[in-house]
Amino acid sequence: MQRTIVEKVEPVAEGVVSLLLRGADGPLSSWEPGAHIDLTLPNWLTRQYSLCGDPADRDAYRVAVRHDRLSRGGSEYIHLFLNTGRPLDVSLPRNNFPLRPAPEYLFVAGGIGITPLLPMLTAAVEAGASARLLYVGRSLATMPFAGDLRAVHGSRVRMHVTETHGRPDFAAAAAALGPEALVYCCGPTTMLDAAEAVFCAQRLYLERFRPVDKEFAPGEAFDVHCARSGRTVRVGAEESLLDALNHAGLRIPSGCREGVCGSCEIPVIGGEPEHRDDIGAPPGLMYSCVSRARSSDLTVDL
Ligand code: FES
């Protein structure tokens, strides 16, 4: 955990504020474009937000938060109650959406999905790649950082306003890409689904705010052996691995509890996990809030 102070709360679009969080105890942990942090709010909720400032600035983090009408208390608290001067604990940055090297990029953002893509676009341009951004929103007034993007990146950025122009033509955008282009997309589920259908010939990387609807067979109980502590914990059929470990006193951090943020990762060293997350667990890791075991037991490095 890192201690920060809320230095600025600033509207950056209709229903969106940007937070500038200054490190309270000196420089903050470094991060790469695409990373996010967990904010532990004074109302005890933990929420994940992409870092959208300058990775070279170790003194402060910037995030942007849309006021979600269906807020479960996170964005609502930030918009209604969070003031400058408040101390706020933030996690170390975690990156499930890293920028891979390529000669050409297309970044596709929908609304608040612009946040991880802002530093990615800057990094791609600085690396000398051909980089373009297709930024989709209902109206310009609802699109955070639209003015800054046009001022800094000019014709690399194309704004697409759905209120007046309907859905963007992803097929035309895909046809204009070279064979080595990478596509990075972040936004609402409908947009990500459309991108998946169209950019199938390119290497496409998505970041989701919400899990994809999927069906799994009913969970079965299994044992998890914790190699370092020498303990074995039974995970009930109706219980998550995360809850079982926490109830056993092995404290595992968590954020979304939906398999999209990565906070609850644990190293697996034996058995076969059944991955149910939407991040894409790298070899040797699993996300304990949603994932379970295919084998009768697992061994984890806890
Ligand atoms: S708590 Fe977010 S992936 Fe598990």
pLDDT in tens, 184-220: 999 998 999 999 999 876 699 999 877 788 888 888 9
Confirm whether 212 is domain-assigned.
Answer: no
- What is the mean predicted confidence (pLDDT) over 69-98? 88
Confirm whether 77 is domain-assigned.
Answer: yes
Instruction: Read off the pLDDT of residues 233-253 as tens digits, 9 standing for 90 and up.
Output: 999 999 999 999 999 999 898
Give the helix/strand (H/E) hosting 214: none
- Do residues 38 and 133 share a domain? no
Q: Any residues with Cβ below 6 Å from ligand 1, and which?
A: 254-257, 259-264, 277, 287, 289
Structure confidence at residue 69 as a pLDDT band (50, 70, 90): confident
Structural domain of 252? 222-300
- Do residues 190 and 156 share a domain? yes
Confirm whether 287 is domain-assigned.
Answer: yes
Structure confidence at residue 97 as a pLDDT band (50, 70, 90): very high
- What is the mean predicted confidence (pLDDT) over 261-290? 93
**CATH code, domain carrying 44:** 2.40.30.10
- Do residues 79 and 56 share a domain? yes
- Do residues 27 and 67 share a domain? yes
149: helix, coil or strand? helix
- What is the mean predicted confidence (pLDDT) over 94-120? 96
Q: What is the pLDDT of residue 165?
A: 93
- Do residues 126 and 200 share a domain? yes
Give the residue, out of 40, 97, 286, 289, with the most ligand 1 atoms within 8 A of its beta carbon, to mutate for a pocket test: 289
Q: How far is CA 118 from CA 22, 68, 100, 189, 282, in A?
A: 20, 21, 15, 19, 25
HEC readout, 238-300 = CCCHHHHHHHCCCCCCCCCCCCCCCCCEEEEEECCEECCCCCCCCCCEEECCCCEECCCEEEE
User: What is the rounded average pLDDT for all residues in the chain?
Assistant: 93
Q: What is the pLDDT of residue 71?
A: 64
Tell me, in angstroms, the distance from the centre of ligand 1 to residue 93's CA.
Answer: 14
- Do residues 8 and 79 share a domain? yes
Give the residue, out of 251, 257, 275, with the most ligand 1 atoms within 8 A of its beta carbon, to mutate for a pocket test: 257
Torsion sign (Cα): 246, 215, 48, 269: positive
Domain boundary among 182, 207, 232: 207
Quick one: what percent of the chain has pLDDT higher than 70? 98
Tell me, in angstroms, the distance from the centre of ligand 1 to residue 245's CA.
Answer: 14
Pairing of strands 130-137, 292-293: unpaired
pLDDT at 70 over 80: no
Confirm whether 258 is domain-assigned.
Answer: yes
Q: What is the pLDDT of residue 46?
A: 85
pLDDT at 182 over 90: yes
Confirm whether 8 is domain-assigned.
Answer: yes
Confirm whether 216 is domain-assigned.
Answer: no
185: helix, coil or strand? strand
- Do residues 71 and 160 share a domain? no
Confirm whether 274 is domain-assigned.
Answer: yes
Q: Among the atoms of ligand 1, which is closest to the Cα of residue 259?
A: 3
Chain length of the chain: 302
Tell me, in angstroms, the distance from the centre of ligand 1 to residue 99's CA.
Answer: 21
Q: What do you get for the CA distance between the two ends of the chain, in Å? A: 19
- What is the mean predicted confidence (pLDDT) over 257-274? 93
- Do residues 112 and 202 share a domain? yes
Q: What is the pLDDT of residue 294?
A: 93
141: helix, coil or strand? helix
Q: What is the pLDDT of residue 202?
A: 67
Instruction: Read off the pLDDT of residues 21-34 as tens digits, 9 standing for 90 and up.
Output: 999 999 999 999 99
Number of domains composing the chain? 3
- What is the mean predicted confidence (pLDDT) over 90-105? 95
Instruction: Read off the pLDDT of residues 137-166 as tens digits, 9 standing for 90 and up.
Output: 999 999 999 999 999 999 999 999 999 999
**CATH code, domain carrying 112:** 3.40.50.80
Tell me, in angstroms, the distance from the centre of ligand 1 to residue 255's CA.
Answer: 5
Tell me, in angstroms, the distance from the centre of ligand 1 to residue 154's CA.
Answer: 37
Structure confidence at residue 172 as a pLDDT band (50, 70, 90): very high
Output the six-digit token pair for 271. 């058995």
- Exposed, middle or buried, 99 (CB in 10 Å: 0-12/13-18/19+)? buried
Confirm whether 98 is domain-assigned.
Answer: no
- Do residues 72 and 110 share a domain? no
- Do residues 79 and 18 share a domain? yes
Q: Among the atoms of ligand 1, which is closest to the Cα of residue 256?
A: 2
- What is the mean predicted confidence (pLDDT) over 110-124? 97
Q: What is the pLDDT of residue 213?
A: 80
Give the helix/strand (H/E) hosting 72: none
Domain boundary among 143, 176, 207: 207
Question: Which residue's entry shows tokens 């909720």?
Answer: 45
Phi, psi of 98 (to 5 degrees): -75, 150
Structure confidence at residue 45 as a pLDDT band (50, 70, 90): confident
Q: Among the atoms of ligand 1, which is closest to the Cα of residue 253?
A: 1
Q: How far is CA 177 from CA 146, 159, 167, 171, 297, in A?
A: 23, 18, 19, 10, 46
